[in-house]
């Protein structure tokens, strides 16, 4: 019943547990009141559907977003908060081993802690269901550690879940310094999860970002790992300058990106040398100006006009490719080194040509 690929069923059953034992729910989610009504798939802004909404009369008790394998879409929690203001609690639920980054006043909690509370319910069916559910969650999540090899999968295992578990384990090992934000987000170009670190840049309106993801083409992203295992490419790492709060990439400062390059070049020599192909005329013009000013022709990969119009930011930089057979422990070491690189890049001042 509770497939890891079907978050709707997890939301459905959680809504039933809340309805059957409101007292346990109040403890699990830390809200006041037990005379409640539960709504599934409540309408939000546009096409948004909010997983669970709990009301008591005219009072909005809780807004709950459920995650299993998936991660959050861009500004998803912000949109939900705007659509349903004034709730006692805004709660994001996810498995402990598959963390999701909560923002603003959303309270993160794990499936394990929620189910532990329901397992002590005075309602026998609720307690039995929660215990079985907790055991299912514990036994079904992949076990990964520092020795796990990125591209080694068991035939028939849930492939999206296996990749998510790898990214999540690395995420859980990182503890970046103050000023560096760490998050797990959805890839803008595919279906893979992305582990991302960002730091405010020296110029207002920009951040520096370093992120990694599996770049296996989404057309070949299997539901279950075949035998032989899928020919994954390994973690691809992007190092980019991101302009935020814009609806167009026309104002992106390509000379600022060029000013970052000496620090990037000093950090590594294995940059992928494939030339970027910016689509918008102003992105092409900016890229060519940057190369003419001395930038390498492979600096400028990323997302421009289309992303700015969709998500109010654009990003350009360079990337390098790690081996497909890297272990997770080795990947953590790479990311910890990049924390220092990120801080160095954030301190670089824009070029005088800006």
Residue 157 near residue 141 (C-beta atoms within 8 A): no
Q: Is there a single domain that holds both residue 223 and residue 288?
A: yes
Residue 303 lies in a domain: yes
Q: What is the pLDDT of residues 231-247, one digit of tens each?
A: 889 999 999 999 999 99
Residue 128 maps to a domain: yes
- pLDDT(39) > 60: yes
Are both 264 and 134 inside the same structural domain?
no
Average pLDDT over residues 278-282: 94
Domain boundary among 94, 112, 140: 140
In a domain, 351, yes or no: no
Residues 271 and 201 in one domain: yes
Question: In this structure, are 88 and 43 located in the same domain?
Answer: yes
Task: Give residue-wise pLDDT tens across range 111-135.
Answer: 999 999 999 999 999 999 999 999 9
Q: Which residue has the higher pLDDT, 104 or 309?
A: 309
Q: In this structure, are 109 and 188 located in the same domain?
A: no
Of 140, 171, 190, the position where a domain reaches its end is: 140
Q: What is the pLDDT of residue 87?
A: 94
What pLDDT is attached to residue 44?
87
d(CA 329, CA 337): 13
Residue from 230, 92, 228 nearest 162 by CA: 230
Residue 353 has pLDDT above 70, yes or no: no
Verify that 77 and 191 share a domain, yes or no. no
Residue 65 to residue 11: CA distance in whole angstroms: 9
Indicate whether 2 belongs to any domain. no
Tell me the per-residue pLDDT of 64-109, one tens digit each, with 9 for 90 and over. 999 999 888 778 899 999 999 999 999 999 999 999 988 888 999 9
| Among candidate residues 140, 171, 188, the one where a domain is terminated | 140
- Do 118 and 63 share a structural domain? yes
Kindly state whether residues 313 and 186 are assigned to the same domain.
Answer: yes
Domain range holding 315? 159-346
Supply the pLDDT for residue 216. 87
Residue 250 is classified by DSSP as T
- For 133, residues 6+ apart whose C-beta sits below 8 A from its C-beta are 2, 13, 115
Answer whether residue 21 shows pLDDT above 50: yes
Are the C-beta atoms of 254 and 350 separated by less than 8 Å? no
Q: DSSP characters for 150-198?
A: TT---TTSBHHHHHHHHHHHHHHH--PPTT-EEEEEE-SSSSSEEEEEE
Q: Show the tokens assigned to 6.
A: 């079907």
**Mean pLDDT score across all residues of the chain:** 93
Condensed to tens digits (0 to 9), the pLDDT of residues 205-230 reads 999 999 999 988 877 788 888 888 78
Number of domains in the chain: 2
Is residue 287 domain-shared with residue 183, that is, in the same domain? yes
Residues 317/241, Cβ–Cβ less than 8 Å: yes
Q: 147 φ, ψ to 5°? A: -90, -5
User: Do 250 and 124 sit in the same domain of this protein?
Assistant: no
pLDDT at 101: 87
State the Cα–Cα distance between residues 339 and 242, nearest whole angstrom: 17
Q: Is 354 a domain residue?
A: no
The pLDDT of residue 354 is 47
Question: Do residue 189 and residue 335 come from a single domain?
Answer: yes
Max CA pair span of the chain: 72
327 and 182 fall within a common domain: yes
């Amino acid at each position: 019943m509770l497939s890891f690929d079907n978050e709707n069923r997890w939301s459905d059953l959680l809504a039933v547990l809340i309805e059957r034992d409101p007292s346990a729910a109040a403890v699990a989610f830390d809200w006041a009141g037990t005379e409640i009504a539960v709504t599934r798939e409540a309408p939000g802004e546009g096409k948004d559907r909010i997983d669970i909404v709990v009301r008591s009369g005219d009072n909005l008790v809780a807004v709950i977003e459920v995650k299993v394998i998936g991660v959050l879409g861009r500004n998803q929690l912000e949109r939900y908060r705007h659509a349903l203001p004034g709730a006692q609690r805004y709660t994001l639920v996810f498995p402990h081993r598959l963390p999701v980054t909560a923002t603003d006043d959303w309270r993160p909690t794990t499936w394990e802690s929620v189910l532990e509370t329901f397992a002590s319910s005075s309602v026998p069916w609720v307690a039995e269901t929660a215990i079985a559910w907790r055991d299912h969650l514990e036994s079904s999540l992949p076990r990964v550690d520092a020795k796990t090899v990125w591209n080694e999968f068991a035939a028939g295992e849930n492939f999206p879940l296996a990749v998510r578990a790898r990214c999540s384990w690395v995420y859980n090992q990182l503890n970046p310094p103050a000023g560096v934000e760490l998050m797990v987000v959805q890839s803008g170009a595919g279906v893979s999860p992305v582990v991302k670190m960002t730091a405010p840049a020296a110029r207002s309106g920009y951040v520096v970002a370093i992120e990694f993801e599996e770049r296996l083409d989404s057309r070949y992203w299997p539901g279950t790992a075949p035998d032989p295992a899928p020919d994954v490419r390994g973690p691809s790492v992007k190092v980019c300058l991101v302009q935020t709060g814009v609806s167009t990439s026309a104002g992106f400062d390509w000379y600022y990106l060029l000013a970052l390059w000496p620090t990037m070049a000093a950090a590594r020599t294995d940059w992928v040398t494939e030339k970027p192909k910016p689509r918008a005329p102003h992105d092409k013009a900016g890229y060519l100006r940057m190369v003419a000013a001395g930038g390498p022709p492979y600096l400028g990969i990323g997302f421009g006009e289309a992303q700015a119009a969709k998500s109010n930011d654009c990003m350009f930089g360079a990337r390098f490719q790690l081996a497909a057979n890297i272990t997770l422990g080795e990947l953590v070491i790479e990311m910890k080194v990049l924390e220092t690189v990120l801080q160095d890049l954030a301190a670089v001042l824009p070029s005088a040509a800006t």
